[in-house]
Amino acid sequence: MKTYRLLSIVIYLLNHDTVSAAKLAERFEVSKRTILRDIEHISLAGIPIKSLPGVRGGYSIMEGYKLSGQLISEEEQASIITALKGFISAHDNKKYNDVLEKISSLLPKQQSQQHIFLDFGASGENDELQEKLKLIEKSICNKNAIHISYVNAQGGTSGRIIEPVALNYRWYAWYLLAFCTLKQAYRIFKVARINGLQHTSNPFSKAHDNPAVLLEQAFKNGERKGFNITLLCKSCVKVQASEYLNGTITQTHENGDFTMRIHAIEDERMWFAMLLSFGNMVEVLEPAELKTRLIETAENILSVYKEW
- The pLDDT-based confidence of 34 (bands split at 50, 70, 90) is very high
Mean of the per-residue pLDDT values for the chain?
Answer: 86
Q: Is the dihedral of CA 292, 297, 303, 306 positive or negative?
A: negative
Query: What SS3 class is residue 146?
Result: strand
Number of domains in the chain: 4
Asked which of 102-116, 129-143, 205-219, 234-248 is least confident by mean pLDDT, the reply is: 102-116
**Mean per-residue pLDDT for 73-102?**
75
pLDDT at 148: 95
How far is it, in rounded angstroms, from Cα 117 to Cα 84? 11
Q: Is the pLDDT of residue 225 over 90?
A: no
Domain interval for residue 243: 226-304
Q: How far apart are CA 177 and CA 187, in angstroms?
A: 6
Specify whether 63 is located in the same domain as 83. no
Backbone angles phi, psi at 28, to 5 degrees: -105, 10
Residue 194 counted as domain residue: yes
Q: Are residues 216 and 231 in the same domain?
A: no
Question: Could you tell me what percent of the chain has a pLDDT over 70?
Answer: 91
Q: What is the pLDDT of residues 258-272, one digit of tens each?
A: 999 999 988 788 899
pLDDT value of position 81 = 79
CATH of the domain at 257: 3.30.70
Q: Decide if 247 contacts 231 (C-beta within 8 A).
A: yes
pLDDT given for residue 295 in this prediction: 94
Average pLDDT over residues 180-201: 91
129 found inside a domain: no
pLDDT over 60 at 123, yes or no: no
Decide if pLDDT at 110 tops 60.
no
Question: Do 52 and 79 fall into the same domain?
Answer: no
Looking at residue 240, its pLDDT comes to 94
Distance CA 186, CA 3 (A): 45
Look at residue 69 and tell me whether its pLDDT is greater than 60.
no
**Taking 80 as the threshold, does the pLDDT of residue 305 lie above it?**
yes
CB contact set of 197 (below 8 Å; sequence gap of 6+): 132, 135, 136, 146, 147, 148
Task: Indicate whether 115 pLDDT > 80.
Answer: no
